Amino acid sequence: MKKFLLFLCVTMGMSCFSHAQQGYQNPVIPGFHPDPSVCRVGEDYYLVNSSFCYFPGVPLFHSKDLIHWEQIGNCLSRPSQVKLTNAGTWGGIYAPTIRHHEGVFYMITTNVSDKGNFLVHATDPRGEWSDPVWIKQGGIDPSLYFEDGKCYLVSNPDVGIYLCEINPMTGEQLTASRRIWNGTGGRHPEGPHIYKKDGWYYLLISEGGTEYGHKVTIARSRDIDGPYESNPANPILTHINKNAQNSPIQGTGHADFVEAADGSWWVVCLAFRPQTGSHHLLGRETFLAPVRWDKDAWPVVNGDGTMAIQMDVPTLPQYPVSPKPVRTTFANGKLGPEWIYLRNPKTENYSCSPQGMLRLKMTPVSLNSMDSPTFVGRRQQHIDFTASTSVELQKTRPQDEAGLTVFMENHSHYDLSVRQDADKKQSVILRYRLGELTHVEKEISIPEGKVQLRVKGNNDTYSFEYATDGTNFRELGKMNARYISTETAGGFTGIILGMYAVSGSASSKGYAEFGYFEYQGE
């Protein structure tokens, strides 16, 4: 018995050791989750991302190991915090920074469609965050650094990195803005963060634009005001060079360091995964890599300044989180924090029926509009995936429709919908909007009643299917993925898979009832 107990203890010990040392897979937060910023509070880690034209704004994640992340909310959850009127996929909420100081969480960001830089704060990140505190210093990508009772702000007005001192509770600027670094000469020096280590102030930025030429550079100074000395080995992270030209990860940049509870250092950054040639559709995603930071030395990211999908490196003890259910139902009348709307939603157009159906009211505002259509969706997070829903039209008029959309932006989306025709008939239609072109690719008459809609994505295409019995799906057509890629459509976002409803008449009383939404990545 003693031998058995000894064997059991040794086995468990080895298991725990292995558990703490295993690698992980990038991206750690897949899909449209760009511009990550991270902070640590004890043994807990919090991370935020940009959200651009989508509401609620700035998704907020929690982790115990920097690898497994759970979305616990959104920092900007009220219209009073974020105005997104006419914001497109180039507008709205840009790169945020999250920091924690003396029991208070601060999230600072830019609304380029409103008044610029602002911050919100909270003592409980899972609760409500404050209304905006607006900041005088301009530019984008603002960040905060706290030391000796002072709060410093860095951002990039006038094509350079500027520093000033602020009151984070009022937004008052306490010192003049002063330029502290121009970067290494790459275009768009942005995403600045300040850290202190071994008596040095380190200034981390991104350069080259958030495309294939993206890179992370760093400088340091003994004085926070500078002058800052550039790292001779810059850039410290990039996939623009020959050693990463064939990597499935590209566009690495916009990074933030964090020191873990065990003293190890890590970096989160954005990058994208090209598909169908050199196009990408999932948007810029959140990646993770270890950092070696010897005393008085410059930081080295993952040995050679690159990262991989499969990271075979020592990690913190890992704490996996429960995966989201494949099927989302609407019985409790509340959507999870991963569900988003285009711009500020008109809440009266969304409700749940007594039968637990998501009810979307039809209005004349279409997906092509810069207004807020009746639309709610979630991010595509896998290149290979299947998404489906069930929809039934109610009290509709001819030309009213509702369905499933693969949405990049208002000029770039594929729609699979059920449309009300004359004489109480309905059709299932597949349509595309590509730039100035709108075209119905396929249209088939179907019986009245519930219709199941499904889209399957792979490296090169989206396949659209429908069923009227919930089982026997028929393919309506395929669409080329590259036509709605970031390289074709533009913008800073990624594909959103959404449910929508639109009316052909302002006087329509129609609505659509969605029974569920399923998403399965492969």
Q: Active-site residue 475, yes or no? A: no
Q: Which residue is associated with the tokens 């969605």?
A: 514
Instruction: Determine the Cα–Cα distance for residues 359 and 376; give it in Å rounded to an integer.
Output: 11
Q: Which residues pair with 454 in a beta bridge?
A: 388, 465
Token representation of residue 215:
């890179």
Question: Count of CB atoms within 10 A of residue 6's CB?
Answer: 10
Exposed, middle or buried, 47 (CB in 10 Å: 0-12/13-18/19+)?
Answer: buried
Task: Say how far residue 300 (Cα) sits from the centre of its chain.
Answer: 26
Q: Which of 219, 221, 255 is nearest to 36 (CA)?
A: 255
Exposed, middle or buried, 521 (CB in 10 Å: 0-12/13-18/19+)?
Answer: middle
What is the number of alpha carbons within 13 Å of residue 178 lying toward its C-beta?
A: 12
**Residue among 43, 70, 128, 190 flagged as catalytic:** 190
Q: What is the 3-state secondary structure (H, E, C) of 474-489?
A: EEEEEEEHHHHCHHHH
Cβ atoms of 170 and 131 closer than 8 Å: no
Cβ atoms of 513 and 358 closer than 8 Å: yes
b/e map 153-178, b = 16+ CB within 10 Å: bbbbbeeebbbbbbebeebeeeeebe
DSSP string, 13-28: HHHHHHHHH--EES-S
Q: Which of 153, 300, 146 is nearest to 216 (CA)?
A: 300
Instruction: Determine the Cα–Cα distance for residues 136 and 145; give it in Å rounded to an integer.
Output: 17
Q: Which residues pair with 391 in a beta bridge?
A: 451, 514
Q: What is the 3-state secondary structure (H, E, C) of 207-273?
A: ECCCCCCCEEEEEEECCCCCCCEECCCCCCEECCCHHHCCCCCEEEEEEEEEECCCCCEEEEEEEEC
Rg (CA), the chain: 24
**Residue among 35, 256, 465, 513 flagged as catalytic:** 35
Q: Which residues pair with 414 in a beta bridge?
A: 406, 432
Q: Active-site residue 35, yes or no? A: yes
Q: Which residues are catalytic?
A: 35, 190
